[in-house]
A = this chain, B = another copy of it.
Amino acid sequence: MANVSPGTVDRVIHNRGKVSDKAMAKVSVILEEIQYKPNVFAQSLKKQTSLRMAALVPYHSSDGFWSKAYEGIQKAFVDFEHLGVSIEIEEFNNKDVNDFVKKARTILAENPNGLLITPVFLKESLEVLKEFENSEIPFVTFNTFIPELSSKSAIGQDLKQSGRLAASLIDQCRSDISNVLVIHLGENPGNAPHMMEKESGFREYFKESNPSIRIQSIEIPQTDQETINRILNKWSGDLRSVSGAYVTTAGAHHVAFTIKSRFEDSLVIGYDLIEENINGLKAGTIDFLINQNPFQSAYEGVSKLVDLLVFDKEVDKRMLMPLDIVNKENAAAYLNK
């Protein structure tokens, strides 16, 4: 159409230079006119995109949450395999900073085309992902959100809002609330910023709705029944009526029964659709779970990488996963996802 050779058009499209201004203008105009869109099939065929992606996540055996995430990645692998994409999953011990860094370096050495990662350790993630950036390996994060990172996309939930949501459920389900509990179970909240964010949202809600409500934080570092009893005993005398208990981790099932028997009228809210928690829902010891969608998040993470690397599409910098409220009547529909 512009009376130039395909080579010239090619140079215009890819800005490879060595094109006269005249030709450049002529071709550009026509490209715009005909709304030229490259044929992705031809592109991929030529480029022989055999994309190798890597994923760095905690051991899937560590708990139900990470095993769901693992499944999500594997599902994505199956779904995208036919696009010539391969995914190597590297796992690390999420209690061990050094292991995280070590595994990250292992991946870096293999120079993959893209990375999906859960940057659980703030400082080390910044360090390590800087190296990926230098190697021009794009990465997508999920689960933990670190604003300073230059990830192509960050997938996860608004944790503060998650705390607000828990508070609102207690507010909706109980009247005349005087005491509520926040229970940090199994981890040290000082090292886990996500717990603090959740608590802050939880407190914020009640501060707005009814500032006279007493909110008490209880830290239970271990999940064995003895420790749980010992620590809750310390509080029991002090508390008469507790309207709600908000467990900020996936360990609600460890404390639910104890809480329900000590504070009969309390609403118990926890996180994550792991088997033990589902059983709690069914038994009535847990009233609501908030679903963090590890499966979906992980799947989306891979999906974003595919969009980015295979289809060269723009992806959203931040993807907020919904905060699913789950009780015993709608749990099933979330489980097979």
Contact = CB atoms under 8 A, between A and B. Distances in A.
Contact of A325 (B44, B82, B164, B327): B327
Interface stretch (A57-65, A127-135, A315-323): A315-323
Contacts of A325: 324-327, 330
Given A322-B334, A337-B322, A164 B329 contact: yes
Contacts of A172: 173, 267, 287-288, 327
How many copies of this chain does one complex carry?
Answer: 2
Kindly name the residue among A173, A330, A333, A336 whose own CB sees the greatest number of chain B CB atoms within 10 A. A330
Given A41-B41, A45-B42, A165 B311 contact: no
A79 B136 CA distance: 26
A207 to B, nearest CB: 14
A173 B37 CA distance: 54
Interface residues of A, number: 43
A46 to B, nearest CB: 9
17 contacts: A40-B41, A40-B82, A41-B41, A41-B45, A42-B45, A45-B45, A82-B311, A161-B329, A167-B329, A169-B327, A172-B327, A320-B333, A323-B333, A324-B325, A324-B330, A325-B327, A325-B330
